Protein backbone atom coordinates (compact mmCIF):
# COMPACT_ATOMS: atom_id res chain seq x y z
CA UNK A 1 0.00 0.00 0.00
CA UNK A 2 1.39 3.42 -0.96
CA UNK A 3 0.10 6.63 0.58
CA UNK A 4 1.17 9.68 -1.39
CA UNK A 5 1.50 13.25 -0.20
CA UNK A 6 2.82 14.61 -3.51
CA UNK A 7 3.23 11.68 -5.94
CA UNK A 8 6.58 13.11 -7.07
CA UNK A 9 8.52 9.99 -8.14
CA UNK A 10 5.66 7.80 -9.21
CA UNK A 11 4.29 5.02 -7.09
CA UNK A 12 5.40 2.17 -9.32
CA UNK A 13 8.94 3.55 -9.66
CA UNK A 14 9.22 3.82 -5.86
CA UNK A 15 7.89 0.29 -5.35
CA UNK A 16 10.33 -1.08 -7.92
CA UNK A 17 13.31 0.78 -6.46
CA UNK A 18 12.45 -0.33 -2.90
CA UNK A 19 12.15 -3.93 -4.10
CA UNK A 20 15.63 -3.68 -5.65
CA UNK A 21 17.11 -2.11 -2.53
CA UNK A 22 15.48 -4.70 -0.27
CA UNK A 23 16.91 -7.48 -2.44
CA UNK A 24 20.34 -5.89 -1.98
CA UNK A 25 19.82 -5.63 1.81
CA UNK A 26 18.86 -9.33 1.93
CA UNK A 27 21.83 -10.38 -0.20
CA UNK A 28 24.24 -8.36 1.97
CA UNK A 29 22.97 -10.11 5.11
CA UNK A 30 22.94 -13.59 3.56
CA UNK A 31 26.44 -13.20 2.10
CA UNK A 32 27.69 -11.47 5.27
CA UNK A 33 28.98 -8.55 3.22
CA UNK A 34 28.05 -5.06 4.36
CA UNK A 35 29.89 -3.72 1.33
CA UNK A 36 27.00 -4.81 -0.89
CA UNK A 37 24.67 -2.30 0.77
CA UNK A 38 26.98 0.44 2.04
CA UNK A 39 26.21 2.74 -0.91
CA UNK A 40 22.55 2.87 0.14
CA UNK A 41 23.35 5.14 3.11
CA UNK A 42 23.39 8.94 3.23
CA UNK A 43 26.42 10.59 4.84
CA UNK A 44 24.27 11.58 7.83
CA UNK A 45 22.50 8.22 8.12
CA UNK A 46 21.40 6.86 11.48
CA UNK A 47 20.40 3.40 12.67
CA UNK A 48 18.08 2.59 15.56
CA UNK A 49 18.70 -1.10 16.21
CA UNK A 50 17.07 -3.02 19.03
CA UNK A 51 19.33 -3.39 22.11
CA UNK A 52 21.43 -0.35 21.05
CA UNK A 53 21.45 3.40 21.46
CA UNK A 54 21.44 5.53 18.33
CA UNK A 55 24.09 4.42 15.82
CA UNK A 56 25.30 7.57 14.12
CA UNK A 57 26.86 7.69 10.66
CA UNK A 58 27.85 5.26 7.92
CA UNK A 59 31.13 4.19 9.58
CA UNK A 60 29.37 3.11 12.80
CA UNK A 61 26.55 1.51 10.82
CA UNK A 62 29.17 -0.47 8.87
CA UNK A 63 30.85 -1.52 12.13
CA UNK A 64 27.49 -2.65 13.54
CA UNK A 65 26.44 -4.70 10.50
CA UNK A 66 29.89 -6.19 9.89
CA UNK A 67 29.89 -7.50 13.48
CA UNK A 68 26.28 -8.72 13.39
CA UNK A 69 26.70 -10.41 10.00
CA UNK A 70 29.70 -12.35 11.29
CA UNK A 71 27.62 -13.61 14.24
CA UNK A 72 24.43 -14.39 12.34
CA UNK A 73 25.02 -16.66 9.37
CA UNK A 74 21.60 -16.90 7.73
CA UNK A 75 19.93 -19.80 5.99
CA UNK A 76 16.97 -17.59 5.02
CA UNK A 77 16.03 -13.91 5.19
CA UNK A 78 12.84 -12.31 3.90
CA UNK A 79 11.48 -8.78 4.05
CA UNK A 80 7.94 -7.74 3.24
CA UNK A 81 7.11 -4.09 2.68
CA UNK A 82 3.79 -3.36 4.39
CA UNK A 83 3.38 0.35 3.73
CA UNK A 84 5.08 3.05 1.70
CA UNK A 85 4.38 6.66 2.62
CA UNK A 86 5.55 9.06 -0.05
CA UNK A 87 6.27 12.58 1.13
CA UNK A 88 7.59 15.51 -0.88
CA UNK A 89 11.29 14.75 -0.34
CA UNK A 90 11.18 11.43 1.55
CA UNK A 91 9.76 7.95 1.37
CA UNK A 92 8.94 6.11 4.61
CA UNK A 93 8.87 2.34 4.24
CA UNK A 94 7.59 0.03 6.95
CA UNK A 95 7.61 -3.73 6.85
CA UNK A 96 8.22 -7.08 8.46
CA UNK A 97 11.25 -9.36 8.31
CA UNK A 98 12.05 -12.96 9.11
CA UNK A 99 15.59 -14.27 9.58
CA UNK A 100 16.42 -17.93 9.98
CA UNK A 101 19.88 -18.44 11.40
CA UNK A 102 21.91 -21.45 10.26
CA UNK A 103 21.57 -22.99 13.73
CA UNK A 104 17.77 -22.85 13.29
CA UNK A 105 16.79 -19.85 15.45
CA UNK A 106 14.05 -17.74 13.85
CA UNK A 107 13.97 -13.97 14.41
CA UNK A 108 10.84 -12.10 13.34
CA UNK A 109 10.61 -8.34 13.45
CA UNK A 110 9.51 -5.05 12.03
CA UNK A 111 11.50 -2.36 10.26
CA UNK A 112 11.16 1.21 9.11
CA UNK A 113 13.37 2.92 6.57
CA UNK A 114 13.47 6.67 5.95
CA UNK A 115 14.59 7.22 2.35
CA UNK A 116 15.60 10.59 0.89
CA UNK A 117 14.53 11.26 -2.70
CA UNK A 118 17.32 12.43 -4.98
CA UNK A 119 18.24 12.68 -8.62
CA UNK A 120 19.94 9.28 -8.39
CA UNK A 121 17.02 7.64 -6.61
CA UNK A 122 16.48 6.82 -2.96
CA UNK A 123 19.17 7.10 -0.27
CA UNK A 124 18.77 5.64 3.20
CA UNK A 125 18.72 8.42 5.83
CA UNK A 126 17.31 6.48 8.77
CA UNK A 127 16.82 2.84 9.55
CA UNK A 128 15.10 1.28 12.57
CA UNK A 129 14.18 -2.26 13.46
CA UNK A 130 13.07 -4.39 16.37
CA UNK A 131 11.83 -7.87 17.13
CA UNK A 132 8.21 -8.95 17.46
CA UNK A 133 9.01 -11.44 20.19
CA UNK A 134 11.18 -11.74 23.25
CA UNK A 135 14.76 -12.60 22.40
CA UNK A 136 15.91 -15.00 25.11
CA UNK A 137 19.62 -14.30 24.67
CA UNK A 138 20.20 -10.91 23.01
CA UNK A 139 23.99 -10.99 23.55
CA UNK A 140 24.77 -12.14 19.96
CA UNK A 141 22.70 -9.17 18.75
CA UNK A 142 24.66 -6.61 20.79
CA UNK A 143 27.77 -4.87 19.54
CA UNK A 144 29.32 -3.80 22.82
CA UNK A 145 31.74 -1.31 21.25
CA UNK A 146 28.81 0.50 19.65
CA UNK A 147 26.94 0.63 22.96
CA UNK A 148 29.98 1.98 24.77
CA UNK A 149 30.65 4.66 22.15
CA UNK A 150 27.07 5.91 21.99
CA UNK A 151 26.70 9.53 20.89
CA UNK A 152 25.48 12.10 23.40
CA UNK A 153 21.75 12.48 23.81
CA UNK A 154 20.11 14.55 21.13
CA UNK A 155 19.81 17.24 20.10
CA UNK A 156 23.30 17.03 18.65
CA UNK A 157 24.60 19.72 16.37
CA UNK A 158 23.66 18.89 12.81
CA UNK A 159 21.69 15.74 13.71
CA UNK A 160 18.13 15.12 14.65
CA UNK A 161 16.13 11.94 14.65
CA UNK A 162 13.27 12.21 12.18
CA UNK A 163 9.94 12.26 14.03
CA UNK A 164 8.93 9.14 12.11
CA UNK A 165 11.76 7.13 13.70
CA UNK A 166 10.92 8.44 17.18
CA UNK A 167 7.29 7.43 16.68
CA UNK A 168 8.31 4.04 15.33
CA UNK A 169 10.64 3.46 18.28
CA UNK A 170 7.87 4.32 20.76
CA UNK A 171 5.48 1.99 18.94
CA UNK A 172 8.09 -0.80 19.00
CA UNK A 173 8.68 -0.41 22.73
CA UNK A 174 4.96 -0.90 23.32
CA UNK A 175 4.99 -4.22 21.41
CA UNK A 176 8.05 -5.92 22.85
Hey, CA dihedral for 11, 44, 175, 137, is it positive or negative?
Answer: positive
- Number of Cβ within 10 Å of residue 86's Cβ equals 22
Tens of pLDDT, residues 110-162: 999 999 999 999 999 999 999 999 998 888 889 988 877 765 555 555 667 77
Of the listed ranges 3-12, 64-73, 96-105, 154-163, the least confidently predicted one is 3-12
**Residues 20 and 89 sit within 8 Å (Cβ to Cβ):** no
Q: What is the pLDDT of residue 7?
A: 41
Burial 33-67 (b: 16+ CB within 10 A, else e): ebebbeebbbeebbbbbbebebbbbbebbbbbbeb
Hey, CA dihedral for 107, 100, 33, 142, is it positive or negative?
Answer: positive
Sorting pLDDT into bands at 50, 70 and 90, what band is 3? very low
Tens of pLDDT, residues 13-71: 999 999 999 999 999 999 999 999 999 999 999 999 999 888 999 999 999 999 999 99
**pTM value?**
0.80
Q: What is the pLDDT of residue 173?
A: 63
Q: Annotate 67-104 with DSSP letters as a single string.
A: HHHHH--EEEEEEEEEEEEE-SSEEEEEEEEEEEETTS
Amino acid sequence: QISSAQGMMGKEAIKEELAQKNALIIEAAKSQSFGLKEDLYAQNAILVAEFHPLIDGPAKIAEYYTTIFSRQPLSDYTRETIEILELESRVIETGLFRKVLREGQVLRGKYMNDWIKGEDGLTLRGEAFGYLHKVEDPSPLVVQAIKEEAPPLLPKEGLSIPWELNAYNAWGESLV
